[in-house]
Structure 1
């Protein structure tokens, strides 16, 4: 697993006014919490952080947060974005304990879909019902993503959570809740089946004819 270093600086000024000033200066207000240490307010350069945020690992990997020269392992737990501008408004990082299991959502990478029997069959749609899953593992076992090999996928096949091949030390907590939680991840079906299952639109209501006094006289 590659190391991803995020640079930050501690800050003392807090509150909405201080946060607005930081953003105008090209910085992002953030906080790091958890573990044996008290929560700490920090700030990060927006441009560098924005570039990092375009990568998948930023959301699902253990990050090395360097604050004023001191490093600690963290996970990104929350990101607040501007409603329409390309701006990160605030970040929350959680400290990681090497001996404590994590629950983290990681992306799914689908492999060999086009090479599969289903992928080569005309008129077949392959639905990705999930694009990420929540896993549990120790920090040292955390994968950046889970691969789903669809090379043998045939028409009519359904890949469930329990069918996924997980790295050593990784489990899916949801599967412990019962069979009903073993949901579909991938479904291969004929396009006509997809169309048949689509909910039909309710017929438009025909407005009642307006009866005039002239019409009443014709009865």
Structure 2
């Protein structure tokens, strides 16, 4: 299971615009954490720390450990309100998760045993179509990564999502097709030579199929 990024927070007293403005003046972003069969808790997180995580991307699909005055909560962000002019965060909502909660997350794909692939050893090129895959996962069984074993893969082989072993209870969000993760293509020089050979063969066939023209005087 992947180790969640940690975000520190403090519980804050009061609700409403006045309390929110006070938090912002102190360099904090007001927010709330709710769900998990517990009462909502108003919180504040450090502006710089939140902004740093937002800039990394996919913040709304990243599982977090939110520490509120030292108490750990497994959460996922459900909304980030931003200033309409500066596009900076002004409020953040977190959903508290239990071990049985089901969520959508992007999981990275890694490739192993490239040296055991005859196709790659002969100069083939690994073309990655999806470097990550969106999965429906259970909060207590989130895979750190999806592993593609390239052992025995030849030039022309394609790796689909069905070729990857997914943890129990995990499924891809795309369900209407067996989508491609990667494939092994021939070296560019070999592919170019193949195209040239095919063109030459086509020319030869055309020349052989043309009947001689007889000229009548």
| TM-score, normalised via structure 1 length | 0.62
State the 1:60 CA deviation. Answer: 6.3
CA distance in 2, matches of 1:20, 1:112: 54
Asked if 1 retains the 8 angstrom alpha-carbon contact of 2:10 and 2:44, the reply is yes
1:126 equivalent to 2:122? Answer no
Distance change in 2, residues 1:114/1:96 (3 Å): same
Equivalent residues of 2:61, 2:104 under 8 A apart: no
Q: What SS does the aligned partner of 1:119 have?
A: helix
Aligned match of 1:71: 72
Partner of residue 99, structure 2? 98
1:183 Cα deviation (Å)? 0.5
CA contact (8 A) 1:174 1:182 kept: no
Distance 1:70 1:116, change over 3 A: same
Distance (whole Å) between structure 2 residues aligned to residue 73 and residue 36 of structure 1: 13
Q: Mark the runs of 5 or more structure 1 residues left unpaired by the alignment.
A: 197-219
1:153 paired with 2:149, answer: no
The equivalent residue for 1:171 is 170
Contact 1:61/1:144 (8 A) holds in 2: no
Change (3 A) 1:25 1:102: same
Q: Shift of the alpha carbon at 1:18?
A: 7.0
1:112-146, Cα deviation, whole Å (9 max, x unpaired): 44663333333x43222112222233322112222
Alignment of 1:194-209 (within 5 A): none
* Rounded Cα–Cα distance in structure 1 between residues aligned with 2:34 and 2:111: 34
Matched residue, 2:198:
none
Pairwise CA distance, 1:150: 2.5
Unaligned runs of 5+ in 2: 196-217
Deviation string for 1:53-108 (max 9, x for gaps)? 6889977664332223443221244567899x996665442211223333322222
**Separation (CA, whole Å) in 1 of partners of 2:180 and 2:66:** 36
Superposition TM-score, scaled by structure 2 size: 0.63
> In the aligned structure 2, how far is the partner of 1:98 from the partner of 1:29?
26
Query: Which residue is equivalent to 1:216?
Result: none
Corresponding residue for residue 139 of structure 1: 139
CA distance in 1, matches of 2:117, 2:89: 40
Cα distance in 1 for partners of 2:22, 2:117 equals 54
Conserved? CA contact 1:52–1:58, under 8 Å? yes
* CA contact 2:63–2:74 (8 Å) conserved in 1: yes
Counterpart CA distance in 2 for 1:136 and 1:37 is 24
Q: What is the alpha-carbon distance in structure 1 between the residues aligned to residue 119 and residue 20 of structure 2?
A: 52
